[in-house]
Structure 1
Amino acid sequence: MIAIFGLLTSVAMAQTTSGTIALGGGFRFTSNDPGTSSFSLSGSGGYFLKDNLMVGLDLSYSSANDGDNTSLGLGPFIRYYKFIADDKFAFTVDGGFVFSSDKDVDPVTGTEVSSSTFGLGVAPGFAYFFSPKWSLDFTLPGISYISYEGGGSTISIGASTFSPSLGFRYFISK
């Protein structure tokens, strides 16, 4: 029994050891008022520089109002895992930068307006490792700063809204 428990524990922890590669992604759909909806797709790839510390690259695409507003984003991230209890559950902290290219259609004139944004943020979350190769990731909004092309910026604190993201991650051990 002790040998089996030891093997299972080492398999769970092996997912976040140095040299492991993680691939992940998620999908979000939101429908508010009639005729107003949005969806986003995201993907990421990361590499564990040392145990429980991953660096990587995020890619995202979002579309709202039947394609009138779109955004394509790319940026590096860092994620730290802190395991608790049975080594299948870990709290996470994500930090990252993102550059996005945005396209909006003015609803009055119908003209297309392009812009870009730069943002950085820190977000808490958790990962549940439901198999030796897969985790379910749940991330809450954290603190973010966004700077808009042409001036202006916003600072958001995630405690003011509840819009978590949900995704999966696949781990490729060395």
Structure 2
Amino acid sequence: MKKLLLSTLLLATSFAAIQAQTERGDWMVGGNFRLNTSGNTEISLTPNAGIFFIQNFAFGGNVNLNYSKSGSVKTTAFGIGPYLRYYFGHDQVRPILHTNFNFLSSKTKFNGTSTTNNGTNFFIGGGAAVFIGENASLDILGGYDHSDYNGANGTGGFALNIGFQIYLHKHQMDKMRGRKAKSE
């Protein structure tokens, strides 16, 4: 009987913790990493941070750092911009919708010549956040990704991103900033 009561209490506590991860005032930080070595090499890192301005709905910013090499052509790119993300439900696996828009700058080197170009990128898609603990999720997102550079035709297609998020409750952020909670 004690084991059943303890198991029920642990399950209820973990559900309450999972439910409270996307409340208004909570923060999330994380990002995704992409490595592609099929025919060429591409390495991409996209850290992000956001705040839940209402329950399950976050607004934030991300930075995109990208390096690619195809033959003798090397490209480095930097992007920065906002994102919106909405979580459905309060389960351990939550469907999510995600969109972001970035301003881009890239530098391409080919045969000793270097060119710089500016443009934009947007992504719109969905997927799931799989909560692997009270304050962490593994995110899998698929959707349409489109880049458009000045003086060049835009390119777009399906993209799959796998990322990781850490969730910080409002009171944790207040402690990090040196603020006392209202109840103290």
Q: TM-score range by the shorter chain?
A: 0.7 to 0.9
Instruction: State the distance in 2 between where 1:105 and 1:40 align.
Output: 18
Tell me the secondary structure at the aligned position of residue 19 of structure 1.
Answer: coil
Q: Which is greater in Rg?
A: 2
Preserved contact between residue 146 and residue 157 of structure 2 (Cα < 8 Å) = no
Instruction: State the distance in 1 between where 2:131 and 2:66 align.
Output: 27
Asked if residue 13 in structure 1 is aligned to residue 9 in structure 2, the reply is: no
* Percentage of matched positions with identical amino acids: 25
Aligned residues: 162
Per the TM alignment, residue 6 of structure 1 is displaced from its structure 2 partner at its CA by: 3.2
One-letter code of the match for 1:74? I
Contiguous gaps of at least 5 residues in structure 2: 171-184
> Aligned runs of 1:8-157 on 2, under 5 Å?
8-33=14-39, 36-65=40-69, 68-83=74-89, 87-106=91-110, 109-140=111-142, 142-150=143-151, 152-154=153-155, 156-157=156-157
Instruction: State the distance in 2 between where 1:43 and 1:6 align.
Output: 32
- TM-score, structure 2 as length reference: 0.80
Q: CA RMSD in A?
A: 2.0
Preserved contact between residue 22 and residue 55 of structure 2 (Cα < 8 Å) = yes
Residue deviations 1:21-51 (CA, integer Å, cap 9, x gap): 1000222211123xx3121111000100011
**Which of the pair is proportionally richer in helix?**
2
Tell me the secondary structure at the aligned position of residue 112 of structure 2.
Answer: coil
Residue of structure 1 in register with 2:175 after alignment: none
Contiguous gaps of at least 5 residues in structure 1: none
- TM-score, structure 1 as length reference: 0.84
